[in-house]
Amino acid sequence: MSVSMLSMLERGVAAPSIGTLVSVSAALGMHMSDLFDTPGSGRSPVRRLADQVEVNTAEGVVRRLVHNDPNHGLEMVVNEYEPGTSSSSAPTHHVGTELGILISGTLAIELDGVEHILKPGDGITYRSSTPHRFENRGKTKARAVWINLDA
């Protein structure tokens, strides 16, 4: 990532993709969710929808942080992809493990050059160090619940 892109992110001039957020958080040695202020963290086991941080990581792509537990190296998010959108233009990778379940729509997941098509109810898990990318090629919004682990 260029210095000018990092500067634009800091100033709020550019919207980061998931790949960019992964790069920044990995360089800082933290979870992507640590980059955002999360109201109510640690006070209650319940995180109300109104307190969940939403980030538009690309046009038509929303990542909503439901829970973050830095003590256990875990975060849970809901990712939504409008038709024709993707997580990034190229596969990304980082440390950890990911587990996901598709709630609605269809989602093409590329893992190290191999494509997997998820339909509602399908689950997937992989090492985050495997280059990966998500794309909604369907005609409706794709919604998935994702768990990210440090290990």
Task: Give the distance from CA 138 to its chain's centroid.
Answer: 19
pLDDT, residue 18, reads: 62
Domain spans, the chain: 3-149
pLDDT, residue 93, reads: 92
Contact 15, 57 (CB under 8 A): yes
Q: What is the largest CA-CA distance in the chain?
A: 42
pLDDT tens digits, 21-37 = 667 776 766 666 666 65
For the chain, what is the HEC assignment? CCHHHHHHHHCCCCCCCHHHHHHHHHHHCCCHHHHCCCCCCCCCCCCCHHHCEEEEEECCEEEEEEEEECCCCEEEEEEEECCCCECCCCCECCCCEEEEEEEECCEEEEECCEEEEECCCCEEEEECCCCEEEECCCCCCEEEEEEEECC
Residues in the chain with pLDDT values less than 70:
1, 3, 5-19, 21-22, 26, 28-43
CATH superfamily of this structure's domain 3-149: Jelly Rolls (2.60.120.10)
Whole-structure pTM value: 0.74
